[in-house]
Amino acid sequence: MKFRKVVIGGTFDYLHNGHLALISKAYEVGERVVIGICSDEMQQLLMKDSAGIQPLAIRLWRLLNELHNRGWLERTEVNILSDPYGTAVSDRNINAIVVSPETKVRAEEINRIRISKGLHPLEIVVVPFVLAEDGKPISSIRIRYGEIDIHGKKLNRSRI
């Protein structure tokens, strides 16, 4: 393990292979992992296309179930996010943040806030996108629209 405490965050809608790559990397590099999961209110405020996102209770249950199945639950802290930053901007014990290429900008913003508060910046660990079989990144929105499944397999549009 490289870091004592790492943080990741997201909506974790339709827990898919991209999410699992991010989560796996966090447990690979961190002794303790803080996972921020967006509240229902936050994702509705921040996301342009929040229609159809599963309720927090379902997203949280799937996440906790996956962590339990992988034996990671005892190394985990879960926070419900009411803003885009959570404890990443205030917890002086966090050493790193694990992000996708898409969310690297948010990690840089978190570091600017941390520095302005006199905290050390976080090491940013970027996990490459997990690609679907069509070569495009797996994403919850593509799953929601019936293009692919959670593993990135293309779906027959007639099944929508």
Model confidence over 69-127: pLDDT tens digits? 999 999 999 999 999 999 999 999 999 999 999 999 999 999 999 999 999 999 999 99
Give the model's pLDDT for residue 88. Answer: 97
Edge-first strand listing for the sheet containing 96-99: 76-81, 30-38, 3-10, 96-99, 123-126
Q: Which domain holds residue 81?
A: 3-130
Euclidean distance between CA atoms 105 and 93, whole angstroms = 21
Q: Is 42 within a domain?
A: yes
Helix (H) or strand (E) holding 93: none
pLDDT tens-place string over residues 10-31: 999 999 999 999 999 999 999 9
Query: What are the tokens at 61?
Result: 């249950």
Q: Is 72 within a domain?
A: yes
Q: How many domains does the structure of the chain reveal?
A: 1
Nearest residue to 33 (alpha-carbon basis) of 89, 93, 82: 93
CATH number of the domain where residue 90 is located = 3.40.50.620
Q: Is 158 within a domain?
A: no
